[in-house]
């Protein structure tokens, strides 16, 4: 169950209102009620709420066991839980050192607080590593669109133009078209690098990949 993403291009379309916190709480309560019934009868939760509902409701995403093996990752169901768990597994084995590095992360509003928290924890044990985390507002499709996979190259360039970016900017792989170094607005990764005058690395959606990219391991 995924909330509809309402873009700013809605002239002449049926009027729809975005979900609010109270709506999200009701949706989650309904889904979790059905999950309990399905699991008792079929040993499968069957119906799942996407990560957006939990963030909108201000609730913690469910534990890993509730995702039935992450069957709906491509629909944003469990991505944050998986990322958190992978991060924790790697993080607990980090010892920290005195390496010097400065990087930046760009993401959508949905994942921003999670990535910010992870970056802060890395900096706690690597005191000379500086991580800038930037939340990109979606001006292209509209501010209600907060997933990183719908961020365009032009929004990246416009909002990061005068920011501290460090040695490299790290971008999640879902910002680019599958198998290509091109954003949804046809701007290429090379054009972003040239405009921002910084190296850019595309990072896979895993806790290990994120930590490795930040620490340059």
Return the pLDDT at 205: 86
Question: In the chain, which stretches have pLDDT less than 70?
Answer: none
**For the whole model, what pTM was predicted?**
0.88
How many CB atoms sit inside 10 A of residue 190's CB? 11
Return the pLDDT at 69: 95
Return the pLDDT at 115: 95
Q: Work out the angle at residue 176's Cα, subtended by the Cα atoms of residues 172 and 177, and round it to the nearest 5 degrees.
A: 140
pLDDT digits (tens, 9 = 90+) for 22-37: 999 999 999 999 999 9
Return the pLDDT at 130: 97
Query: How far is residue 112's CA from residue 167's CA, in Å, rounded to a whole number?
Result: 20
3-class SS at 104? strand
Q: Cβ contacts of residue 1 below 8 Å, gap of 6+? A: 27, 31, 47, 48, 49, 50, 53
Q: Cβ contacts of residue 188 below 8 Å, gap of 6+? A: 153, 181, 182
pLDDT digits (tens, 9 = 90+) for 174-194: 999 988 999 999 999 999 999
Return the pLDDT at 37: 97
């Amino acid at each position: 169950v995924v909330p509809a993403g309402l873009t700013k291009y809605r002239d002449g379309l049926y009027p729809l209102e975005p979900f609010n916190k109270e709506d999200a709480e009701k949706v989650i309560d309904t889904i979790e009620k059905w999950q309990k019934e399905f699991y008792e009868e079929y040993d499968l939760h069957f119906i799942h709420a996407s990560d957006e509902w939990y963030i909108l409701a201000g609730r913690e995403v469910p534990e890993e066991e509730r995702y039935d093996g992450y069957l709906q990752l491509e629909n944003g169901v469990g991505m944050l839980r998986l990322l958190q768990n992978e991060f924790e597994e790697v993080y607990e084995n980090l010892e920290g050192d005195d390496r010097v590095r400065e990087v930046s992360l760009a993401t959508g509003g949905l994942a921003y607080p999670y990535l910010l928290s992870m970056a802060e924890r890395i900096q706690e044990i690597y005191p000379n590593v500086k991580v800038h985390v930037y939340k990109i507002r979606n001006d292209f499709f509209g501010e209600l669109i907060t997933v990183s996979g719908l961020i365009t190259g032009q929004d990246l360039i416009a909002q990061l133009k005068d920011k501290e970016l460090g040695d490299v900017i790290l971008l999640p792989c879902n910002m680019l078209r599958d198998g290509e170094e091109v954003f949804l607005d046809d701007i290429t990764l090379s054009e972003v690098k040239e405009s921002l005058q910084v190296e850019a690395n595309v990072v896979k959606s895993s806790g290990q990949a994120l930590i490795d990219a930040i620490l340059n391991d």
